Structure formats: C-alpha cells, structure tokens
C-alpha cells in the first residue's frame, strides 16, 4: 500500500487493487450483494456521527444527502454514477467498494475530535467497536481484514 496525493488531498490506494473489492463483472471477486452491504455499513458509520458535523455546520446538508444517496443506490433507486456525484465517503462506496474504510475512519476521527482530549482514545475505541458490531456477517471478515491491512494508513483508528 502507498499513500498518494491527489489534487492536494491524501488518498489511500494500494499499488494493486484488491480483487475482493472489485465486483465480479469488473474482474474481481466481490458479489453485488456484498458491495451493497459495504455501502450500507459505510453509510451507517457516517450516519452514526452525522450529528457532530451538523452541530458544527448546520446549513450544510451535503453529508446527509450523501448518506441518503448511498441508501438510494443500495435500494436500486439511483445509479452508481448518481450516487458518486453526491460525493461523501458513504456514497462513493457505490463506485469503489474499497472506500468503505473511509467512512469508518472519518467517523472515528470525528468522535475523537468531539471528545475532551483525556477521553479521545477511549471514545475512538468505543466508536470502532460500535462499527464492528454493525458489520453484517457476510462482509465481516473482509472488512476486518481490510482494517488490519490499511490501519497504518488510516491513522491507526482501527486499533480497537
């Protein structure tokens, strides 16, 4: 894995895309049903901490819309392109399944940032445990393995 800068932002990529996060129709091993489970889980992670963002930015509805778009994609109401256009880590899982960790990592970071410094690590650990408790059985091992592999690049937030 390597960390790459794209348009001034840090983006986490592996040198070779993990076929477990590429849908079968694109040459990978990911079933469509599991892709949808990843998107729902990512949206749930974002939804769980959305109130922190909305307290800080009450007039910005983009994260809420992105979460709604992710759910709409899972239900088959919109296309992947429409979900991707909505942006946000929760929504882009429809486009690239390997983005599932972004929503989870940012949620843990949000909890830590909203917590007094002396309690941040514990609050982050609790959020990580909550996220793991939400993982559907069909994708649990996939996500836990991905967390293990990319933890270093995700600020070690998955050490829970």
Is the pLDDT score of 96 beyond 70?
A: yes
Q: Where are the domains of the chain?
A: 2-154
Report the share of the chain in percent with pLDDT over 90.
77
Report the share of the chain in percent with pLDDT over 70.
91
Tell me, what's the pLDDT at 9?
Answer: 57
The number of residues making up the chain comes to: 160
Tell me, what's the pLDDT at 5?
Answer: 46
- How is residue 58 written in tokens? 């009450």
Confidence class of residue 78 from pLDDT cuts 50, 70 and 90? very high
Using DSSP, state whether 23 is helix, strand or coil: strand
Report the C-alpha dihedral over residues 124, 71, 29, 45, rounded to 10 degrees. 0
Q: Which helix (H) or strand (E) covers residue 9, if one does?
A: strand 9-13
Q: Are 5 and 11 in contact (CB under 8 A)?
A: yes
- How is residue 4 written in tokens? 């790459």
Is the pLDDT score of 10 beyond 80?
A: no
Using DSSP, state whether 106 is helix, strand or coil: helix
- What average pLDDT does the segment 41-62 reach? 96
CA dist list (Å): 129 to 45, 55, 123, 158: 11, 24, 10, 9
b/e per residue, 107-116, with b = 16+ CB within 10 A?
A: bbbbbbeebe
| Sole residue written with tokens 């790459």 | 4
CA 40 to CA 122: how far, in whole Å? 25
């Amino acid at each position: 894995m390597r960390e790459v800068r794209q348009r001034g932002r840090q983006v986490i990529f592996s040198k070779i895309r993990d076929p477990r996060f590429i849908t079968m129709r694109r040459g990978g091993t990911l079933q469509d049903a599991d892709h949808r489970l990843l998107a729902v889980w990512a949206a749930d992670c974002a939804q769980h901490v959305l109130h922190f963002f909305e307290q800080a930015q009450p007039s910005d509805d983009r994260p809420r819309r992105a979460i709604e778009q992710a759910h709409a994609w899972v239900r088959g109401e919109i296309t992947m392109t429409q979900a991707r256009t909505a942006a946000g880590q929760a929504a882009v899982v429809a486009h690239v399944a390997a983005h599932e960790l972004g929503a989870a990592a940012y949620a843990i970071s949000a909890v830590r940032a909203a917590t007094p410094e002396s309690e941040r690590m514990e609050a982050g650990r609790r959020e990580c445990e909550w996220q793991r408790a939400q993982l559907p059985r069909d994708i649990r091992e996939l996500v836990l393995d991905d967390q293990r592999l990319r933890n270093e690049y995700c600020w070690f937030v998955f050490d829970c």
